[in-house]
Structure 1
Amino acid sequence: LAGHGSASEESFARVDPQDWITDAAEAIALSRLLGDQIILMSCSTGSTLATYLAAENPNAIAAHILYSPNFDLADSNSKMMTLPWGLQLTRLAFDSHYRTIDLGAEANQFWTTTYRLEGILALRYLVDDTMTEEIWENFDDPYLLCYYYQDEQNHDKVISIEAIEKFHEINQGDYLLNTIKPLAEPGGHVIASPLQSKNIEIVKEVTRDFLKSFFSQAKLENQPGNKDQ
């Protein structure tokens, strides 16, 4: 994705939400050349792009595995970034043109830990433009949705739990496979990496269960004489 995979702290300085949409669409198009069906695994803002592109391109994806999907940010104050002078006010709040995070010595080797605030602004615009109830209603693929949630005090503080629940409320009846899994064990936003998740085994377990159900149903539907074949 544009701006990602670079060691430069300036990589998000000129990033645009459309760049991310275009790059994700290209990746999906290339994947469709490799096989008959795509099971798309995504996390955080990758899930923003995955669900948006699936809603805009019916039948492109066979199923989704959504880890900590960013259907909205937990901090409602982030919406102020898109107002006039929003970027300038954000710089004042951070007292910097950059955001720096510390994920621990091991994870810091693989994550971009200092980046321009323009990247957060682009993210806010992306979510505002693509994660609407109208678009969610056009989403029509089976999915597994996992995120960290233990209780009202202990849960993912990066993404909006309310938005996740609303997405599932809209789409849960489309397929029997559609599953939402709040997980208490991972302990943070990044649930699918052993570098940050406190329990990646539970994530693997629910993922395997979903895939077994998906392939079992696909096998049943493809049996000779099945009226839905």
Structure 2
Amino acid sequence: GHGQDGVAMAQGSVNAWINDYEEALAIGREIGDKVIVIGTSTGGSLAAWAATQPGASDGVAAIAFISPNFGVKASGAELLTMPWGRQIAELVGGKERSFPARNALHEKFWTTKYPMKAVLPMAALTELAYTAPVEKAKIPALFIFSDSDKVVRPDRTREIAGRWGGPHELVPVDDTGDPDNHVIAGDVLSPQTTRFLTERIVVWVKALMQQQSGQ
């Protein structure tokens, strides 16, 4: 993920991410009373897929999705999961992908240049999440997103939320600091929304815990 160098970005795989997720949940179960997952972008893809798989989300009390990735908005993104997807992507976009940092913190914490092949496992996981039987998901979910997201497809977020089998709420966010409306909280790109969204998640979780304790 972001924060590593470009070479490290290319080492990611769907299986490795799944294993990391299971390890993180195991640690959460060990040290906490309740496990609340907050998944951003492709982390949301992973959490959604895991919520539909037997044993993959044991002990998870709730999931808060922030700008979940159920489909990349860039034209031609569907080619990434097809045979010869890497070759086609490199032919069209080159062997490396890069973007300019918006500020010093963005430069520090994001990986602004990485091999094009690094996006292939992301695309594969996104497809797994979008096609997962989320109607079977029973974990309460909060979907925080922007309908103006320029990176991922908010229409698919609404679709997944509509199909979600467990209790769920949608929190559309309009005014963010990110010009792409994808990183919709955090000091780096959207500091003005951080407090509101933090409080929104906390209020939602507390209400869930009260409901569960009353059952």
TM-score category by the smaller chain? 0.7 to 0.9
Secondary structure at 2:144's aligned position in 1?
strand
User: Taking structure 1 as the reference length, what is the TM-score of the superposition?
Assistant: 0.82
- Residues 158-204 of structure 1 deviation map (CA, whole Å, 9 limit, x = unaligned): 11112101111112x732xx211111111411012221126324xx3
Contact between 1:194 and 1:200, CA under 8 Å: does it hold in 2? Answer: no
Structure 1 84/59 Cα, relative in aligned 2: closer, same or farther at 3 Å?
closer
1:165 pairs with 151, 154, 158, which one?
A: 158
Secondary structure at 1:62's aligned position in 2?
strand
Structure 1 6/67 Cα, relative in aligned 2: closer, same or farther at 3 Å?
same
Alignment partners' CA distance in 1, 2:75 and 2:84: 17
What stretches of structure 1 move > 6 A for 4+ residues in a row?
Answer: none
Alignment RMSD (CA, Å): 2.1
Pair 1:132-2:123 in alignment? no
Pair 1:35-2:28 in alignment? no
Q: Which runs of 5+ in 1 are unaligned?
A: 150-154
The higher radius of gyration belongs to 1
User: Taking structure 2 as the reference length, what is the TM-score of the superposition?
Assistant: 0.86
Secondary structure at 1:195's aligned position in 2?
coil
Structure 1 159/205 Cα, relative in aligned 2: closer, same or farther at 3 Å?
same
Alignment partners' CA distance in 1, 2:212 and 2:121: 42
Q: Which residue of 2 aligns with 1:193?
A: 186
Structure 1 102/220 Cα, relative in aligned 2: closer, same or farther at 3 Å?
same
**1:1-40 to 2 correspondence within 5 Å?**
5-7=3-5, 9-40=6-37
Note the C-alpha offset of 1:131: 2.6
**1:47-196 to 2 correspondence within 5 Å?**
47-56=44-53, 57=56, 59-75=58-74, 77-94=76-93, 96-106=94-104, 107-134=106-133, 136-149=134-147, 155-171=148-164, 174-175=166-167, 178-186=168-176, 187=178, 188-196=181-189
Residue type of the partner of 1:10? V
Secondary structure at 2:73's aligned position in 1?
coil
Percent of aligned pairs with the same residue? 27
Pair 1:208-2:190 in alignment? no
Residue type of the partner of 2:172? P
Alignment partners' CA distance in 2, 1:140 and 1:221: 13
Alignment partners' CA distance in 1, 2:166 and 2:4: 39
Secondary structure at 1:189's aligned position in 2?
coil
Alignment partners' CA distance in 1, 2:129 and 2:39: 16
Contact between 1:185 and 1:198, CA under 8 Å: does it hold in 2? Answer: no
